[in-house]
Amino acid sequence: MDWYALHTKPNKEELAWHLVRSRGFEVFYPRLSVKPVNPRARKVRPYFPGYMFVRTDLEQVGSFSFQYLPYAQGLVSFGGEPARVPMPLIVALQERVQQLAAQRRDVLQGIERGEPVIVHSGLFAGYDAVFDSRLPGQARVRVLLSLLGGRQIPVVLAADQIVRTARVLAPLQ
């Protein structure tokens, strides 16, 4: 049995995932939790919009099983031949999605506006900052960097670039 990438119709990944699972296939559908601006928007989004991975024996099942599947557009193919996805890549993707989910929980959980943080990676590594807000969609945050004689400059960073600190910084104004 090999892994294949299944191309789904736009915004139909969840429906395709349920359908493929109900037909007895092993499916890897990587998703991430997000904090959308609109509270009614989806709080879980696909890591690869429009795609998921299916493990099957195409010799027994045939690629047409996926070609005419509701909510799907078939297996990703090159030259008419469905492309196999190597098992090490699937394992690496599973680990990465778990790592991103853990980072998001660890970094942002419980941090409130006005709390001191340190930027630990990227262009502003080592700078003190004050947490300002979570930004919609991706795992991004806005912090106020302490620069230029105590002035606080707003900067948008990836959430995993900051860590809490016990240092007391100037409060938000």
Q: What is the pLDDT of residues 17-32, one digit of tens each?
A: 999 999 989 999 998 8
**CA triple 36-42-44, angle to 5 deg:** 95
Residue 36 has pLDDT above 70, yes or no: no
Residue 35's pLDDT is: 67
Question: Which residues pair with residue 45 across a beta bridge?
Answer: 32
Q: What are the structure tokens assigned to 137, written together?
A: 């969609």
According to the model, what pLDDT value does residue 65 have? Answer: 81
Predicted confidence band of residue 117 (pLDDT cuts 50, 70, 90): confident
Q: Say which residue, 103 or 21, is predicted with more confidence.
A: 21
User: What domains are there in the chain, each with its CATH number?
Assistant: 2-108 (3.30.70.940), 116-164 (2.30.30.30)
Q: Which residue has the higher pLDDT, 146 or 57?
A: 57
- How does DSSP classify residue 89? H
State yes or no: pLDDT of 156 exceeds 80.
yes
Nearest to 3 by CA among 97, 90, 93: 90
| Predicted local confidence at residue 107, as pLDDT | 54
Distance of CA 138 to the CA centre of its chain: 7
Rg (Cα) of the chain, in Å, rounded?
21
Rounded Cα distance, 141 and 121, in Å: 14
User: What mean pLDDT is reported for the chain?
Assistant: 82
Evaluate if residue 37 carries a pLDDT over 80: no
**What pLDDT does 109 receive?**
62
pLDDT score, position 51:
92
Confidence (pLDDT) at 136: 67
